[in-house]
Structure formats: structure tokens, C-alpha cells
Amino acid sequence: MSTQQKSSSGSVWVNFIIGLCLMLAGAYIAYNVPIPFQEKLADQGIPLDVGQTLASLGVLLILFPVIKSFFVVPLDAAITDRTQSLESTFTEAENLRTEMQKMRTEYEQRLAATEANARDQIQAQIREAQNLRTSLMSEATAKADELVTRAHQEIEAEKQKALTELRLQVVELTLTAAEKILGENMDTDKNRRLVAEFVDKAEVAS
């Protein structure tokens, strides 16, 4: 038996003995000892019986362990259990709040990372589109320049071909006209060369 249990048991016996003494003394006084001031108090409207009061206190001291065992101790245990339950509930609520705050922080971090990743991907796609646009424009410009150069070359070639044909026609017409005027054949290599040189000088002068 522990020291606390021994002290509690001793206290119960002390209360029992004192209560028994008070109960017996109160009963004796109530029935055998007249107390003068009780009558005066009764006349003043205060019905006080010292013997019965002492006996009642004795009964209360005797019954106190029973009251404590059947009412005070269970009530204290219930209050303690309720307090522990409330503390446990508060602790769980605090833990839940902390966990929710942690989850919220992690969610905000993931959301920020997702947004940053999305922005990076969008910027990369924009840069890729701009590079593709620049490349396509450069390629289109190069093809356009090539087509313009080729067109100039073809025009120049056609021009030279037309000039050559025109020169030959001029030579032919000149020789034909000279033959008609002079009445003799002028279609010789020497005459053709002379007429061609004349036409060339006329083109340069123009």
C-alpha cells in the first residue's frame, strides 16, 4: 500500500471517529442538556438546536467517505476525462490546422512552380515561333531575290537575243536595199561585216 493510500485510509478513520463522537454528543445534548440561548434564539425566530446540529455534522463526517466514493470521485474522474478529451480534441484540431497550413503552403509552391514552368514553355514557344518566322522570312527573301535575279538574267538574255535577231534583220535589209540600188550582189562576208560594224557603232552612239 502506498503512502497516499495509507494517508487516505487514516483520514477516513479519523473522520469516522470524529463524526461518531459528534453524533453521540449532539444526540446527548439534544435530549439531556438544556441550552438557555436556544430559547432566546427561538423567540427571535431563529430555531437553532445545537445538539441536532452537532449530530448532523457527525453524520456528515461519517457519510463523507461514502459520498466521496460514490459521487465526488466519479464526478472528478468524469471531469478529468472530459478535460483530457477536450485537450485531445484541441490538440488534434491544432495538428489538423498545422497540417492544413503545410498542405496549403505546398499547394501554393506547386502552383507557383507550375505557373513558372508554363510561363517558361510559353516564352520558349514564342521564341521558337519568332525564330521560325525569321527563318521563313529570310528563306522567302532569298527565294525572291533569286527569282528577281533569274528574271533579270532571262530578260537580259531575251534582250540580247532580240538585239541579235534585230541586228541580223538590219544587216539583211541593208544588203537587200543596197542590191536593189546598185543592181549587183552585195551579200558577201565583207559587206556583212561592214554593215554589222556600222550597226554596232550606231548602237554604241545611241
> At which residue does the C-alpha cell 519568332 appear?
130
**pLDDT tens track for 65-94:** 777 777 777 888 888 888 888 888 888 888
Mean per-residue pLDDT of the chain: 76
**More confident of the two residues 49 and 88:** 88
Cβ–Cβ < 8 Å for 45, 81: no
Query: What confidence tier does 21 reach under pLDDT thresholds 50, 70, 90?
Result: confident
CA distance 67 to 54: 19
CA distance 143 to 150: 10
Contacts of 21 (CB under 8 A, 6+ apart): 58
- Amino acid present at 11: S
Say if residue 1's pLDDT is above 60: no
Cβ–Cβ < 8 Å for 195, 179: no
Model pTM? 0.36
**More confident of the two residues 21 and 84:** 84
| pLDDT given at position 172 | 72
| Ranges of each domain in the chain | 3-91, 155-205
| pLDDT given at position 36 | 64
Query: What confidence tier does 160 reach under pLDDT thresholds 50, 70, 90?
Result: confident
Say if residue 147's pLDDT is above 80: yes
**pLDDT tens track for 174-201:** 767 666 666 666 566 666 666 666 666 6
